[in-house]
Structure 1
Amino acid sequence: MRGKTGSGVRLAVAGAAMVALALVAGCGNGSTGSNSSSGPKSPAPKVTADKALSAKVPAAIKQAGTVTVGTDSTYAPSEFLAADGKTVQGFDVDLFNAVMAKLGLKAKYESAKFGVIIAGVESGKYTAGVSSFTINADRLKQANMVSYFSAGTWWATKKGNPSKITQDTACGHKVAVQTDTVQVDDITARSKKCVSAGKKAISIDQYEAQDQATASVVSGKDDAMLADSPVVAYAVKKTGGQMEKLGSIYEAAPYGYVVKKDQLAFAEAIQGALKELISDGTYAKILTNWGVQDGKIDNPTVNPSVTG
């Protein structure tokens, strides 16, 4: 769960790290739309507005017509930049576009660092945050959240696992993780247990973008990485067999759309749109189109009860 800690979580897109991953992968980089296989199997299904649901949208948002969305576009296949380096794409994007269309609205995506998006929603800079946010107690204190997907943490290592690392034998190994994610808390706690047991601490390499963490594993700089399950599955696929999944998925939790704390009515309208998309099959089509159907949920909820 890219659920980042505190206010934000995320395979990144641009700069030297992207180039590095493209070089080591040998088949396009792991997070951008550099070739056709980086995107969905087919175009996103078209969605028509529901008048009853549209009527539930707060007047100011309805009048604007376009919802400004803050997103960390470095987290393939959830949200990442297309080959033009500008257009944000991913299953999160296709699904939220469908939600907005059901409400008679359009979405405009603005790339931002993960850790500042929720604050941006609360300040009014963004109308919503869509960035694979794991729903947790800290975030629920800051904003309204609407569940729409379920993801867990997964590990990955270089093909063949040359360092013989496992989730339970990581002491003394070098492990990559993206900053501000729940995975940072995870690996930090594991390292403390190593030290308490008289073993070497885990050497934790934190990267601002997930593609940098992926590249570090492919290059052999780090022995393994951990990230949200759909991101790891996508990274393994996009690195052309140079990485492999390690262990199994654990600690599954819901992703949530982020809406300002005083916009409960808008959150409820989003929930209603999601329920319609689930009912008419559009939701399943979008997830299947991106190969992330294992994360589907049946009952989107506004501010669900969570622990941690």
Structure 2
Amino acid sequence: MAEKTKRSQIYAALMLAFAVAFATAGCGAADAGAGTAPTADVLASVVKDDAIAALLPEATRQAGVVKFASSVGSVPPAAFYAEDNKTLQGVDIEIAAAVGQVLGVRIDREIASFEAILPALASGKYEVGTGNFGVTEARKKTIDFVTYINDGQGFAVRKDDTRLKEVKDLTQLCGLKVGTGAGTTFEATLEREKHVCPDAGRPEYQVLSFSDNAAVFLGLQQQHIDVIMGTINGLRHAAAGQPNLAFLNEFKRLDVGFAFKKGSPLAPAFQGAVNKLIKDGTYQRVLAKWGTGDSAIPESRISPPEHP
């Protein structure tokens, strides 16, 4: 209970600081230095493919719409708001839009918190979820995935903090405060492996999980957090734009995919659409636009094995 109370106090302090920073500077600390987002239209040539659209269930073809739930962060490149705080952009957004064009359906998107999306898919509230969801064996018990990028887990620190050069083993985090996103594979990994420090006779690391990415980055800069665990692409992009942030290293690669309720009849159509985009070059253009070309996959698969 004491740890939960302390975590709540830290979160409240970070949110207050973030609000002040936003009001006085006109932007959040997590967005500082992010630069102007690319504007090239890489989807103009994408048209409906009748053969792939025929893989959709009849009811979906008739309705012409698919209900999405999307998690939107505060930093590029996966899914984030443009400067108008209304327009969605990023890799997740454009890949989904291109898939919709191939299938000839409209995406009806509702913004939802990352940790709420997968349970809502299982209950039938939404048909598809996006949020840089990594494919894991645990998630595959209730969720099907159609892969569209290879991302994964990485670490970042303040540039002026020299305690860590890279993280290859979680015992290197012993005694530190680790910030990450709530409901993520990062949080699950950190909590599951928390025993490694006591097992080694060393002080346990503390996991601070937040629903808002801005709080994680702000907590790091204000030294409430010692190290961040997050997506490889997200941390690399943030480090390129934030002057006192350093990307350390990749920890584990994970395939990322559209998420569906187990056994969803939509999955084969989405797989076909992604593979069509890979074949015609649209996929590569989207990834190049957002600087994530090294995360390209050769083909989309349905619920492949988790990377070791």
Instruction: String of CA shifts for 1:214-270, please: whole Å, max 9, x gaps.
Output: 11112222111111101111221232x110011x21221100111233423x21111
In the other structure, the counterpart of 2:35 is 37
CA-CA distance at 1:299 after TM superposition: 1.4
Residues 303 and 42 of structure 1: CA distance in aligned 2, closer, same or farther (over 3 Å): same
1:215 aligns with 2:214: no
Instruction: String of CA shifts for 1:70-91, please: whole Å, max 9, x gaps.
Output: 0111263211222333333211
In the other structure, the counterpart of 1:294 is 294
How far, CA to CA, are the matches of 1:206 and 1:305 in structure 2? 27
Residues 124 and 64 of structure 1: CA distance in aligned 2, closer, same or farther (over 3 Å): farther
How is 1:50-65 mapped onto 2 (pairs within 5 angstroms)?
50-65=49-64
CA-CA distance at 1:292 after TM superposition: 0.9
Residues 251 and 120 of structure 1: CA distance in aligned 2, closer, same or farther (over 3 Å): same
In the other structure, the counterpart of 1:249 is 250
CA-CA distance at 1:140 after TM superposition: 1.8
1:78 aligns with 2:78: yes
CA-CA distance at 1:29 after TM superposition: 3.8
How is 1:1-308 mapped onto 2 (pairs within 5 angstroms)?
19=19, 28-29=27-28, 37-46=35-44, 47-74=46-73, 76-164=76-164, 166-167=166-167, 168=169, 169-189=172-192, 191-239=194-242, 241-246=243-248, 248-264=249-265, 266-306=266-306
How far, CA to CA, are the matches of 1:68 and 1:30 in structure 2? 32
Residues 36 and 237 of structure 1: CA distance in aligned 2, closer, same or farther (over 3 Å): closer
Q: Which amino acid aligns with 2:196?
A: K
SS of structure 1 residue aligned to 2:288:
helix
Answer with 50-59 or 272-281: which moved more.
50-59
Q: Which amino acid aligns with 1:111?
A: I
Residues 288 and 41 of structure 1: CA distance in aligned 2, closer, same or farther (over 3 Å): farther
Q: Which amino acid aligns with 2:258?
A: Y
CA-CA distance at 1:195 after TM superposition: 1.3
How far, CA to CA, are the matches of 1:118 and 1:269 in structure 2? 20
SS of structure 2 residue aligned to 1:78:
coil
Instruction: String of CA shifts for 1:151-174, please: whole Å, max 9, x gaps.
Output: 121110011325457525321122
1:152·1:229 contact (CA, 8 Å) conserved in 2?
Answer: yes
Question: How many positions carry a matched residue from both structures?
Answer: 289
Which structure 2 segments of 5+ residues have no match? 1-14
Answer with 289-298 or 61-70: which moved more.
61-70
SS of structure 2 residue aligned to 1:93:
helix
Which structure 1 segments of 5+ residues have no match? 1-14
Instruction: String of CA shifts for 1:114-152, please: whole Å, max 9, x gaps.
Output: 122122223332221111111112222213211111112
SS of structure 2 residue aligned to 1:147:
strand
CA-CA distance at 1:96 after TM superposition: 0.9
Residues 84 and 31 of structure 1: CA distance in aligned 2, closer, same or farther (over 3 Å): farther
Answer with 270-279 or 207-216: which moved more.
207-216
Superposed CA RMSD in Å reads: 2.6
How far, CA to CA, are the matches of 1:253 and 1:142 in structure 2? 18
Quick one: percent identity of the two aligned structures?
26
TM-score, with length taken from structure 1: 0.84
2:78·2:234 contact (CA, 8 Å) conserved in 1?
Answer: yes
How far, CA to CA, are the matches of 1:231 and 1:28 in structure 2? 18
CA-CA distance at 1:18 after TM superposition: 5.4
1:45·1:282 contact (CA, 8 Å) conserved in 2?
Answer: yes
